Structure 1
Amino acid sequence: MSISVIIPTCNESLRIGRLVDFMSTFGGDLVKEIIVVDALATNDNTLAQVPQGKAIGIKSEATCRAVQMNEGARQATGDILYFVHADVFPPKSYARDIFRSLSKDIDYGFFSYEFNSKNRLLKINSYFTRFPNLFTGGGDQTFFIRTSLFKTMGGFNEEVIMMEDFELYKRLKRAKLKCQIINNPVLVSARKYENNSYLKVNFINLVTMILFKLGFPLERLKRFYSTALK
């Protein structure tokens, strides 16, 4: 088996080079390729910063993470797809962890995560990411799945303009497929909490999740979220 890493980006020129180098170095021979899919509407040179080697840079047809990740999946040739946001760093053993998980009859999964902050309240948030909960399935946890299963499920729903990862997770749960949360944390940027506040981010996240589950129109939900948080 081999892994195709897929990284959707939008104005991430300052981060992408370091992340791609990290994924390549610690993925080793288990990682076949790293596909960076940059959003259509960007104002930086993200793709120019993608290192040579295993990495492939693609300009997306849209500025929509679901579309970008599906485009990356169509280009992928690995047996496993691993979706990673540009502002996170998986554990160094990520490739071995994924292989071990999928060798145990697991169909797909996520990693727990922790923030790059010493804030004790954020450590509480991090602790609960190792357990299934209301927020399981978000992109910060990163997401791995067998390529064949991803295709069978139809990939990400491109009509879902935000929270596309939660929507796919809902379909996977409904299909009663086996999932594992690997308790080896991904390192996540705390910039959203630093730019706002702990209580505000948690409150907005909770309201957004409830409205999403109630079927609130996604265009309006996206405007609400973008306006509420810096």
Structure 2
Amino acid sequence: MSCVSIIIPTLNEASCLERTLHQLSILNPPAGEILVIDGGSEDETVAIATKASIKVLSCQPSGRSLQMNYGAKAATGDILCFLHADTCVPDDLIAVIVATLEDKSIAGGGFISLMTGFQTTRWGVSLHNYLKTYYAPLIFRPLLFFKGLRLLFGDQVMFCRRADFWDCGGFNDVPILEEADLCLKLVRLGRICQVNRIVTSSDRRVAHWGTLKATGIYLYIGILWGLGVSPTYLKKFYEDIR
């Protein structure tokens, strides 16, 4: 079986990292390696990862795209999987990833993301995020859509072959939507696939904004991105929430 490297960019993720790492500890089959790439956390993030016997690498300056590229350079697996610290995955994650990429026509993939909180599942927001994977490329990149483009976002646990990742130059150095940009590059090498399996992510941003505001922001950012607006400008509407 191919070796899968799981890369987790972190910055002050102590509230959720322990749970995520626990789930990764029971993967069957296990990951080839798990790397936490920390951007200078001031909480217990690094201590939690170290206690779990996870390799921690420091990346400065911080920035999710920079940290994930840094982790990809350090990774030894032939498949890379990019995981947010607040996202939980099924215990057969590795088998699903390997089986998906056995199809040589597929260059990359991700999962269906379900946003959850304490006694709450954000069904409406989650449905919109699922549909956005399809309607965003259909509207803004229709030719690429019919060649297999699907736009994946951070909570969807994106994965691809290491060779293809570097063939495309890795993640662009942008403050937001770096996964979507990578999809635009990867589709030159093959289809992008949304696997029919669920991962769950924290609803902390939706809880902070409220459902209507969150949906509006996601739509606004997606439309402006599709029209070519700078990610630096779009980042102003997407505050960091821990």
Q: Quickly name the TM-score band, shorter chain normalised.
A: 0.7 to 0.9
CA–CA distance in 1 between the matches of 2:51 and 2:43?
19
1:191-210 superposed matches below 5 A: 191-210=204-223
1:59-138 superposed matches below 5 A: 59-105=58-104, 106-116=106-116, 117-122=120-125, 124-125=127-128, 128=131, 132-134=134-136, 136-138=151-153
Unaligned runs of at least 5 residues, structure 1: none
1:166-190 superposed Cα distances (whole Å, 9 cap, x missing partner): 11111223x1512221111001112
RMSD (CA atoms) = 2.3
**In the alignment, which residue of structure 1 is the partner of 2:42?**
43
| Maintained 8 Å contact 1:17/1:51 | no
Instruction: State the TM-score, normalized to the length of structure 1.
Output: 0.88
Q: Secondary structure at the match of 1:28?
A: coil
1:76 Cα deviation from its structure 2 partner? 0.3
1:126 Cα deviation from its structure 2 partner? 6.0
| Maintained 8 Å contact 1:90/1:187 | yes
4+ runs of 1 displaced by more than 6 Å?
none
The sequence identity of aligned pairs, in percent, is 31
CA–CA distance in 1 between the matches of 2:130 and 2:225?
24
Question: CA 1:124/1:215 → structure 2, altered by over 3 Å: closer, same or farther?
Answer: closer
1:47 Cα deviation from its structure 2 partner? 1.2
1:134-182 superposed Cα distances (whole Å, 9 cap, x missing partner): 2831001110100111111110012x12111111111223x15122211
| Maintained 8 Å contact 1:20/1:34 | no
Question: Counterpart amino acid of 2:202?
Answer: S
1:85-111 superposed Cα distances (whole Å, 9 cap, x missing partner): 111111221111111111122221111
**Of 218-227 and 10-19, the range deviating more from structure 2:** 218-227
| Maintained 8 Å contact 2:114/2:123 | no
Question: Counterpart amino acid of 1:163?
Answer: L
Q: Secondary structure at the match of 1:92?
A: coil
Question: Counterpart amino acid of 2:158?
Answer: F
Question: CA 1:28/1:202 → structure 2, altered by over 3 Å: closer, same or farther?
Answer: same
Q: Secondary structure at the match of 1:216?
A: coil
